[in-house]
Structure 1
């Protein structure tokens, strides 16, 4: 392997290790030493890939967000042309993708909050990107009352996040179809779908 390939390999091994360790036991409980042990690299090699645990968390979060955005954008593009169908397709795509791997759901909805300021900017960019998807998907449909679609999109995102946190944290985990049903209802009503 070339030096560039070795660096890419180490970086990917660290991302894989962080995907599990940052999800559980969590970002704050995961040391660089533990990440390196899991990735089977030296501490020195860690710093050739990332400036610190925070930079690794940000890279991991951004990867999860990019993958999620792509899945939702594809679902919206392939959905039938009614607002309710777009809402149902987009919500289902996101919820299924987020919950397909509990680690992804934990990183995107729990660790992003628990990490404090580490992911504040990354989180805001993610929220803005999802809000834009919602605005774009609903823009061609008239609203019955004047409403700021961006604020509605932000409110809907908050509702979806709380539903996913309930799925992650509840002793009696709600069925995914129930979460999707509630999320579609909230989004549909909020965006004026009939």
Structure 2
């Protein structure tokens, strides 16, 4: 009997861990469906819609890269809670299409995983919560320390920055950030 207890205990622990991982994945997939629905409702009604009743943020934009087939919802703010579910529009940065720099941040292994595949010259569309779409062209990328981004918020042109941790394949957090800069080439349709 004792020789069956250890394998049974190991199998039970494995089953619990597998179930926990499956639950987290299912929750992430459901969150994206709810975020997409809330953003569509926001655009249609003009009123911010929460993706779920206890959410502490609302969807404010959709970031799209057509060549890569990427579409991700951005949330208001860049708190850890917001970044757990999507990209975050950094507090105090410009709105897309407005003078200044609209800054969005997200995790390198989830919502901004696609940044590794963006090429200079790539077009990025930002759909705001009012339904207007602004097209940007990627014109520079660099790796910087988190506290030395070099982003100039006082610019008069409409610019975009997508930022994530660097390097892309790291397993632990570090002080470096990948910063993709883009300039607006087409305004709100």
- Bin for the TM-score computed over the shorter chain: under 0.3
Normalised to the residue count of structure 2, the TM-score between the two structures is: 0.27
Higher gyration radius (CA): 2
Q: Which has the higher contact order (CA 8 A, sep 6+)?
A: 1
The structure with the largest helix share of the pair is 1
Normalised to the residue count of structure 1, the TM-score between the two structures is: 0.26
